[in-house]
Amino acid sequence: MHIHILGICGTFMGGVALLARAAGHTVSGCDANVYPPMSTQLQEQGIGLTEGYDPAQLERGADVYVVGNAISRGNPLLEAILDRGLPYVSGPQWLAEHVLAGKWVLAVAGTHGKTTTTSLLAWMLEDAGLNPGFLVGGVPKNFGVSARLTDSSFFVIEADEYDTAFCDKRSKFVHYRPRTAILNNLEFDHADIFADLAAIETQFHHLVRTLPRSGRIVANAREESLKRVLARGCWSELEWFNDAEGWSAAAGADEAEAVFSLAGCEVGRAGFALAGSHNRENALAAMAAARHVGITPAQAAVSLGRFEGIKRRLELRGEVRGVSVYDDFAHHPTAIALTLDGLRRRQPRGRILAVLEPRSNTMKLGVMKAQLPGSLAVADEVYCYAGGLGWDAAETLAPLGTKARVFEDLGALVAAVAASARADDHVLVMSNGGFGGVHGKLLSALAG
């Protein structure tokens, strides 16, 4: 079968492309403004990419068109598909019918930490010899790809609450029918499609309703929003983490060690490559979920010590003249604050220069702009790229005083960071997009 994917360079749709190719299908796709790591990963896998949405792509005669949720009515290729009555399906529905059916699905949901927790859980299963299939919204370094299809009965998936497609406004994760589900946290996000937090809680409730009685939910006890979700009904086994009577985690001898406990008793201890208490909690949730498929906490802790991290999650991109440049996907104020705190705890020496692109739909709308100054407080200097924003970033960041600067020109931002940076500084770039290749530009400017 020839599958043509609209919006193929999104992290989810790129993963669907890899799975479809592994299943023996011919796969092609199109997107606009493509950028690594997904574009590079697809090219390495021999999947053809077309720039743009010209209806002439229909002449290739695909058997079915898989439509990503970034594709809206008015898109010329989508309109041509509809006008001709050609077969189309959403990515989550195709995945559910052709990959997940018959599998023991382990799904990771939450506002923050989905990619990290999914990667950790997939690695725990892999290191235990279970050979899981997986789909992650990033590239775990232990695997080198964001998605994999195997003959294992287990499949680990990042379960996003964003809507499914132009024709299906339910959250993606209602298609996945998990047997094991992690509910990591739940805050307001995606202001472009959800009116308020209560609307997102309803979608999480819909996910909970799909789990079987023999299934297991691993939920964060610190989140009142998740307690409200589960109070609406829970028909599966339930385990809480960040709970004195359930699962808990703490730093060990230093920030590079994590200690895990169940019901107050230590069950595992590991050196851990990821910075911050939030990542210890991500690992804790993964450990609890892995136990549902028979992996002991002690075994999971050993696996943690061999976990190499994830591309674009506090990833060191290079070091020039003693200045380290990191890349991170953080774009929600909570994620920004957690990432900065984690970097500061791991790197107490030197200044942190935060370079931010408020690029997500929610940030572009300015819904959470008031939270930005507080989330950036740990940084010593802040450089914000305001290209394309519909609100005044300089006014928003004014509470930070002179340590915050706003730029409309990316080249000027790069030059300013390079002029300020000195040995032992840490330049933390945060964006959920390609950010104009700013990481390479910064490294080149520092070298020059």
Q: Does residue 275 sit in the same domain as residue 157?
A: yes
The domain boundary, picked from 241, 272, 304, lies at 304
Residue 256's pLDDT is 81
List the domain range (segments joined by +) for residue 278.
Answer: 102-304
Rounded (5°) CA angle 350-352-356 = 165
Q: Does residue 280 sit in the same domain as residue 395?
A: no
Over residues 69-127, the pLDDT tens digits come to 999 999 999 999 999 999 999 999 999 999 999 999 999 999 988 999 999 999 999 99
Q: Does residue 294 sit in the same domain as residue 156?
A: yes
Residue 37's pLDDT is 67
Asked whether residue 249 is domain-assigned, the answer is yes
In the sheet with 64-67, reading across from the earlier edge strand, the strands are 48-51, 26-31, 2-6, 64-67, 88-90
Q: What is the largest CA-CA distance in the chain?
A: 64
Q: Kindly tell me if the per-residue pLDDT of 66 is higher than 90.
A: yes
Tally of structural domains, the chain: 3
Radius of gyration of the chain (CA): 22
Q: 372 in helix, strand or coil?
A: helix
**Alpha-carbon span 147 to 13, nearest angstrom:** 10
Asked whether residue 309 is domain-assigned, the answer is no
The domain boundary, picked from 25, 59, 92, lies at 92
Residue 62: CATH number of its domain: 3.40.50.720
**Alpha-carbon span 153 to 175, nearest angstrom:** 18
**Alpha-carbon span 289 to 185, nearest angstrom:** 15
**What DSSP designation does 429 have?**
E
Q: Does residue 248 sit in the same domain as residue 190?
A: yes
Global pTM? 0.83
DSSP per residue, 110-176: -SSSHHHHHHHHHHHHHHTT---EEE-SS-BTTTSSSEE--SSSEEEEE---SEEETTEEEEGGGGS
DSSP per residue, 244-310: TTSEEEEE-SSTTEEEEEETTEEEEEEE-SS-SHHHHHHHHHHHHHHHTTT--HHHHHHHHTT---B
**Alpha-carbon span 290 to 128, nearest angstrom:** 10
Average pLDDT value for residue range 333-361: 88
Cα within 13 Å of Cα(439), Cβ side: 23
Residue 35's pLDDT is 66
Residue 353 in tokens:
């220069």
Percent of the chain with pLDDT over 90: 72
Q: Does residue 190 sit in the same domain as residue 287?
A: yes
